């Protein structure tokens, strides 16, 4: 039996969100919040391990009160327990402070045998929180997993790396990050949806976590980096080029143009 924790994040729907170029930030109020898509693959990976070997899956998220909806979706998809980390003290956190806060929450849960994260979020796209969380917890981590092959005190997984597929093994407790190629998220059932709607989401703030880390590590105060602005690349001045000929001829022409332009 394994205690599994899945950190999830509520992000704006990136197909509908607008960017405030004057303020240099994402206008999160311009689009509804959804569960970070790859986090659903992480949840599915955790649920499959639980279903095969027994145990529990706990989803945790750090965010404002409206992030409860993301956690209720996790319940509807099969999570056993959800916890929201909500406090003004957590506001403005970069990946370092975020991972520290998540680590404190996992310690408060009593630890776990496995943490399953999505490889990155669609709003930040850093891929830093998972590995940093593993460092705070003092456990090994394996990234870019597309399939978990076996779990038996050790976890064996198939990793999708830039130079091909690799098989990696790690002793538990450990942390893994999964890609969009990991297990396809299951659908919610009507029974689970009704139960999730009525469920009470546990909420922890800075007071509940200060026993497990210094309050100086929370939020903006605990963040060594600052986001100064967001830049949206202009589309004006771009022009497409149509390549004529057979597929082989078009590929040869494209490669030549990329080489001439110094891209290759």
Domain assignment present for residue 241? The answer is no
Pairing between β-strand 164-171 and β-strand 154-161 as defined by DSSP bridges: antiparallel
Instruction: Kindly state whether residue 249 falls inside one of the protein's structural domains.
Output: no
Q: Classify residue 50: in a domain, yes or no.
A: yes
Q: Which of 175, 188, 196, 209 is nearest to 81 (CA)?
A: 196
CATH number at residue 61: 3.40.50.620
Rounded Cα distance, 155 and 240, in Å:
47
Q: Which domain holds residue 170?
A: 2-222
pLDDT at 162: 83
What pLDDT digit, counting tens, does each position of 195-248 carry?
999 999 999 999 999 999 999 999 999 999 987 777 766 666 667 778 888 888
pLDDT tens per residue, range 124-160: 788 999 999 999 999 999 999 999 999 999 999 999 9
Within-domain flag for 29: yes
Is residue 11 pLDDT above 60, yes or no?
yes
Contact between 123 and 11 under an 8 Å Cβ cutoff? The reply is yes
Is 237 a domain residue?
A: no
Tally the domains of the chain.
1
d(CA 42, CA 89): 27
Assess if residue 144 is contained within a domain: yes
Is 155 within the bounds of a domain?
Answer: yes
List phi, psi (to 5°) of 232.
Answer: -95, 115
**Bridge-partner residues for 156, per DSSP?**
150, 169
Q: Quick check: is 228 in a domain?
A: no
Helical H runs in 110-153? 129-137
């Amino acid at each position: 039996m394994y205690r599994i924790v899945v950190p999830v994040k509520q992000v704006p729907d990136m197909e509908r969100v607008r960017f405030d170029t004057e303020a240099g930030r994402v206008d999160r109020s311009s689009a509804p919040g959804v569960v970070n898509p790859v986090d659903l693959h992480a949840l599915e990976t955790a649920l499959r391990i639980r279903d095969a070997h027994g145990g529990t899956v706990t989803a945790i998220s750090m965010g404002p009160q409206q992030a409860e909806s993301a956690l209720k979706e996790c319940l509807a998809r099969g999570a056993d327990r959800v916890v929201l980390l909500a406090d003004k003290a957590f506001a403005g956190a970069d990946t370092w402070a975020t991972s520290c806060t998540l680590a404190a929450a996992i310690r408060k849960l009593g630890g776990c045998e496995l943490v399953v994260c999505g490889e990155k979020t669609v709003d930040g796209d850093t891929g830093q929180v998972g590995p940093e969380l593993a460092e705070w917890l003092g456990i090994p981590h394996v990234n870019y997993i597309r399939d978990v092959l076996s779990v038996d005190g050790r976890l064996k997984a198939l990793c999708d790396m830039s130079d091909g597929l690799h098989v990696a093994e790690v002793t538990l407790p450990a942390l893994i990050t999964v890609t969009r190629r990991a297990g396809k998220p299951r659908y919610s059932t009507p029974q689970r949806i009704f139960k999730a709607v009525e469920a009470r989401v546990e909420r922890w703030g800075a007071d509940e976590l200060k026993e497990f880390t210094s309050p100086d590590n929370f939020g903006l105060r605990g963040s060594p980096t600052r986001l100064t602005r967001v830049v949206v690349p202009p589309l004006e001045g771009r022009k497409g080029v149509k390549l004529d000929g057979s597929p082989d001829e078009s590929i040869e022409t494209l490669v030549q143009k990329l080489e001439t332009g110094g891209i290759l």
